[in-house]
Amino acid sequence: MNSHRIWRKAVLGLIFLFFYFPILYMLVFSFNDSRSLTSFEGFSLQWYAKMFSDRNMLEAIYYTLVIAVLATVVSTIVGTVTAIGLSKSRKLVREVITQINDLPIMNPEIVTAVGLMLFYVSLHMEKGFFTLLLAHIAFCIPYVILSVMPKLRSLDPNLAEAALDLGATPFQSMMKVIVPQIMPGIVSGALIAFTMSFDDFIISYFVTGNGVKNISTLVWTMSKRINPSINALSTIIVVIITITLILVNVLPVLKEKAERSHNRNARRAIPALGAFLILAMGCGLYALKGSSQGGNAEEAVALYGSNVLKVYNWGEYMDPAANEAFEREYGVKVIYDTFDSNELMYTKLQGGESYDVLVPSDYMIERLIKEDQLQPLDKSIVTNLDQLASGVKGLSYDEDNTYSVPFYWGTVGIVYHKDHVALEDLEEEGYNILQDEKYRGRLYIYDSERDSFMVALKALGYSMNTDDPEELRQAYEWLVQVNTTMSAEIVTDEVIDSMVNGNKDLAIVYSGDAAYILSENEDMGYFMPSEGTNLWSDAMVIPKTAANPKLANEYINFMLDYEQAYQNSLYVGYASSNAEVLDVLSGADGEFYENEAYLPRVGYAKDEIFRYNDMTKKIISDLWTKVKIAK
C-alpha cells in the first residue's frame, strides 16, 4: 500500500516537473549574462535593465493591462445582464441566442480576427486602442455568459419573485438577490475574460494599429530574433501572478479573522489595501509608459503638417535608440509597428492600414511598384543616397532608387561546424551536401518556402526565379529527399541559438544571423556555394497612402546617415546599406572583423534577386507544405 502511494506521489511529482520546468528554466535564463537561451554564462540583471529602458515593451505592458481590465469589466457586466435576461426569456429565444453565443467560442480565432478587421475597414474605423478594446470585449462576452448561465439554471426562480412581493424593485431584486447567488459564476467569467484578453494574439494582431501593441503581439515579433528581455518580462508576469494568487488566498483569511475579532478598522483596511495596490500599479505603469518625444512639436506640425510618423518594420530590426534620436531631432512622435512576414504586412495594407514608411523585401517592393502602391522618393530631401554601398545600387526591382532605399542586405548560405564538416566537401558538393549521408540527422533547413526552393533549384542547376513546372517538381522531390532520408530539422529563428551551441553541423541561414553565430562560436564557418544564392535586400519605401510623406523622406534620409546606420547594423547584426559603415564594422577594429558572413558577396553572376511571381509563389507555397509533412 505504501509503495503504491510512493509511486503515485512520484508520478504526480514528475507531472508537476513537466509542467513547471519550462517556467523555471525561463526564470533562470532571465538572469543570464549572455544572449544565449540554452547556455548559462553567469548572473546578470542586464535584461531587466534593457526591458525597463525599452519604451515599446513598457507601452505594450501598459496597453495589455488597461485593455484587459476594461474588457473584463465591460464584458462581465454585459455578459451577466445578458445571461440574466436570457434566463427569463422564452425557451426558443434562449436556445437561439445560446447557439449564437457559442459560435465565437467554437470559431477558429483567425476567422474572428479577419471578420473583425474587415468590419472595421467597412466602417472606415482607424485601428488602434478603441478597435482593440472593442474586439476584446466582443470575444470575452460569450465566455462570461457561458460561465454565468449554469449558476442561473440552478437558482431558485421563486427567490426573485419573493423579493418583488416584499416590495423590492426589479433592480434591487437583481442586485440583492440574484447577483449574490450567482457571484461564483460571475467571478469565474471575469477571470476567464481577463485571461483571454491578456493572452490574445491572433485577434489583436489583425485589429490593432497606430503603435498600440499588447504583450503577445510584441513578444511574437521579438521572438523572431534572440532577445532575452522576453525572459525578463515573462518572469515579472509570473511573479505578479504568484503574488496575486497569494493575496487572493490570504485576504479572505484576514477578512475572516477580522470579522471574528469584530475589528472594524481591519475590515476596512483590507479593501483599502487592495484599492491602493491597484492604484499604485496603474500610476506606475502610466509613468513607465511615458513618451520620448522631444523638440518642438508645434514647429514639426508647421513644417510637415503633422508631428506623428508611422513606421512598419520587421521585428527586432532596428535599434530603439535610432527612433528616439529621430524624435528628439525633429520634435515628432514615431509610432513603430512590426511584422514578421512580407505577406502579413501586405495583408495589413490591403486591410486599410496606413503607414508613412515600410521596410519590405525586394520581391514585395517589386509587387508594390507594379500595383502602383508606392510614391517616388523626394531626392531633394533624401540626400544621403550617395552613401549607399555599390552592392545595393542598381538593383533590378528599382534600378535608380526611385521608390526605395535599401536598409539591410545579405545572402543565404550554409553555416557549418569547422571541426565536423570538411571545407573540401562543401566546395565539391555545394548545396548537395544536404543530401550527404555523412550528415544525416545533423542539419537544419530554414522554414522559408522561397529560400528552401532556392537551395533546391540552385543545387539542380536552375534559376531560383524559374516558373517551369518540371523544374519546380524536381526541386520539390529534392527537398522531400532531404527531409525524409536526411532527417533534416525544419526550424525558424531557433536555428541561431542552436548553431551557437553547436547542436548541429549544417544549417541554411541568413547571412546576418550567420554573422552573429560566427561571432559567438569560433568553431562555426559560413559558406556560399558556387551554384549561387539569394542576394536579398530589405528597403525603406513610402506608400501612396502615407499621411506624412515629407517627414517620411526625412526619416529615410536620417536612417541612411552614418551614425544611425552604424548603430542599427551593430544592434541587429545585418549588413548595412551604408558603404562607410560596412568598411568600419568589417575593418580591423570593427565588430565583424574577419567575420565571413557579415559582408555580402557582390558581383557573382549566379547570385540572383527574387522576382515577384504570384502564380509561382502559390505553387511553391503548396509544395513546401507537402515537403514539411513528408516523412
> What is the reported pLDDT for 292?
45
Per 3-state DSSP, the chain is made up of helix, strand and coil in percentages (nearest 5) of 60, 10, 30
Q: Quick one: average pLDDT of 537-561? A: 96
pLDDT exceeds cutoff 80 at 284: no
> What is the reported pLDDT for 449?
92
Q: What are phi and psi of 154, to 5 degrees?
A: -85, -5
In terms of pLDDT, which residue wins out, 424 or 107? 424
> What is the reported pLDDT for 249?
75
> What is the reported pLDDT for 291?
46
pLDDT exceeds cutoff 80 at 566: yes
Place of cell 455568459: 145
Q: Quick one: average pLDDT of 412-433? A: 95
Question: What is d(CA 57, CA 452) in angstroms, rounded to the nearest whole number?
Answer: 33
Cα–Cα distance list, 229 to 44, 316, 469, 519 (Å): 12, 12, 45, 20
Write the single-letter amino acid at 456.
A
Each residue of 78-115: pLDDT tens digit?
Answer: 999 999 888 888 888 888 888 888 888 888 888 888 88
pLDDT exceeds cutoff 80 at 205: yes
> What is the reported pLDDT for 233?
85
Q: 328 Cβ partners below 8 Å, 6+ apart?
A: 292, 294, 295
Q: Quick one: average pLDDT of 441-456? A: 94
The Cβ-side half-sphere exposure at 389, using a 13 Å CA radius, reads 25
In terms of pLDDT, which residue wins out, 407 or 253? 407
Write the single-letter amino acid at 517.
I
Residue 352 contacts residue 207 (beta carbons within 8 Å): no
443: alpha, beta or left? (left if phi > 0; alpha if psi -120 to 50): beta
Mean pLDDT lowest among 78-87, 367-376, 417-426, 562-571: 78-87
Smallest Cα–Cα separation from 23: which of 248, 236, 244, 245?
236
What is the value of pTM for the model shown? 0.79
User: What is the separation of C-alpha 361 from the centre of its chain, rounded to a whole number of angstroms?
Assistant: 18
User: What is the separation of C-alpha 373 from the centre of its chain, rounded to a whole number of angstroms?
Assistant: 25
pLDDT exceeds cutoff 80 at 149: yes
Mean pLDDT lowest among 217-231, 453-467, 602-616: 217-231
Q: What interhelical angle do 264-289 and 55-87 show, nearest 10?
A: 130
Residue 497 contacts residue 483 (beta carbons within 8 Å): no
Q: 184 Cβ partners below 8 Å, 6+ apart?
A: 151
Q: Quick one: average pLDDT of 606-622? A: 92
> What is the reported pLDDT for 20?
84
> What is the reported pLDDT for 592?
95
Share of the chain above pLDDT 70, in %: 90
User: What is the separation of C-alpha 137 from the centre of its chain, rounded to a whole number of angstroms?
Assistant: 22
Question: What is d(CA 402, CA 553) in angstroms, rounded to the nearest whole number?
Answer: 12
Place of cell 495594407: 349
Burial class, 195, CB count within 10 angstroms (exposed 0-12 / middle 13-18 / buried 19+): middle
> What is the reported pLDDT for 268?
53
Segment (H or E) for 575: strand 575-576
Place of cell 470575452: 140
Q: 353 Cβ partners below 8 Å, 6+ apart?
A: 127, 209, 312
| Sequential DSSP letters for 114-159 | HHHHHHHHHTTPPPSHHHHHHHHHHHHHHHHHHHHHHHHHTS-THH
Q: Quick one: average pLDDT of 151-176? A: 79
pLDDT exceeds cutoff 80 at 140: yes
Question: What is d(CA 191, CA 442) in angstroms, rounded to the nearest whole number?
Answer: 46
Question: What is d(CA 368, CA 360) in angstroms, rounded to the nearest whole number?
Answer: 10
> What is the reported pLDDT for 225?
64
Smallest Cα–Cα separation from 197: which of 75, 376, 297, 71?
71
Q: Which residues pair with 543 in a beta bridge?
A: 374
Mean pLDDT lowest among 204-218, 400-414, 452-466, 563-577: 204-218
Quick one: pLDDT band at residue 271, thresholds 50, 70, 90? low
Smallest Cα–Cα separation from 108: which of 63, 69, 139?
139
Quick one: pLDDT band at residue 301, thresholds 50, 70, 90? low
Place of cell 445560446: 98
Cα–Cα distance list, 491 to 230, 317, 446, 560 (Å): 20, 20, 5, 33
Cα–Cα distance list, 13 to 23, 584, 611 (Å): 15, 55, 55
Q: 503 Cβ partners below 8 Å, 6+ apart?
A: none
pLDDT exceeds cutoff 80 at 262: no
Q: Quick one: average pLDDT of 579-607? A: 94
pLDDT exceeds cutoff 80 at 267: no
Q: Where are the beta strands (DSSP E) in 271-358?
A: 308-314, 333-339, 357-358
Burial class, 298, CB count within 10 angstroms (exposed 0-12 / middle 13-18 / buried 19+): exposed
Q: Which residues pair with 30 in a beta bridge?
A: none
| Range 518-521 contact pairs with CB under 8 angstroms and sequence separation of 24 or more | 518/415, 518/595, 518/596, 518/597, 519/573, 519/591, 519/592, 519/595, 520/35, 520/36
Question: What is d(CA 510, CA 415) in angstroms, rounded to the nearest whole number?
Answer: 9
> What is the reported pLDDT for 414?
97
- Mean pLDDT, all residues of the chain: 87
Share of the chain above pLDDT 90, in %: 49
Each residue of 304-347: pLDDT tens digit?
Answer: 677 899 999 998 899 989 999 999 999 999 999 888 889 889 98
What is the distance between the terminal CA atoms of the chain, rounded to a whole angstrom?
Answer: 46
> What is the reported pLDDT for 621?
92
Question: What is d(CA 268, CA 270) in angstroms, rounded to the nearest whole number?
Answer: 6
In terms of pLDDT, which residue wins out, 227 or 358? 358
DSSP class of 212:
-
Quick one: pLDDT band at residue 553, thresholds 50, 70, 90? very high
In terms of pLDDT, which residue wins out, 448 or 158? 448
In terms of pLDDT, which residue wins out, 295 or 44? 44
Each residue of 181-201: pLDDT tens digit?
Answer: 888 899 899 999 999 999 899
Q: What are phi and psi of 350, to 5 degrees?
A: -70, -25
Smallest Cα–Cα separation from 569: which of 311, 325, 317, 336?
317
Question: What is d(CA 342, CA 357) in angstroms, rounded to the nearest whole number?
Answer: 14
Mean pLDDT lowest among 71-80, 85-94, 120-129, 297-306: 297-306
Each residue of 9-37: pLDDT tens digit?
Answer: 788 888 888 888 888 888 888 888 877 77
Question: What sign does the dihedral 155-156-157-160 (CA atoms) show?
Answer: negative
> What is the reported pLDDT for 285?
52
Three cell numbers at 278? 491597484
Question: What is d(CA 511, CA 413) in angstroms, rounded to the nearest whole number?
Answer: 7
pLDDT exceeds cutoff 90 at 452: yes
User: What is the separation of C-alpha 40 from the centre of its chain, rounded to a whole number of angstroms?
Assistant: 25
Quick one: pLDDT band at residue 278, thresholds 50, 70, 90? low
Q: Quick one: average pLDDT of 499-524? A: 93
DSSP class of 214:
-
Q: Quick one: average pLDDT of 368-372? A: 95
Write the single-letter amino acid at 424.
E
Q: For 500-553, give the secondary structure using H, E and C.
A: HCCCCCEEEEEHHHHHHHHHHCCCEEEECCCCCCECEEEEEECECCCCCHHHHH
> What is the reported pLDDT for 232?
87
How many CB atoms sit inside 10 A of residue 331's CB?
18
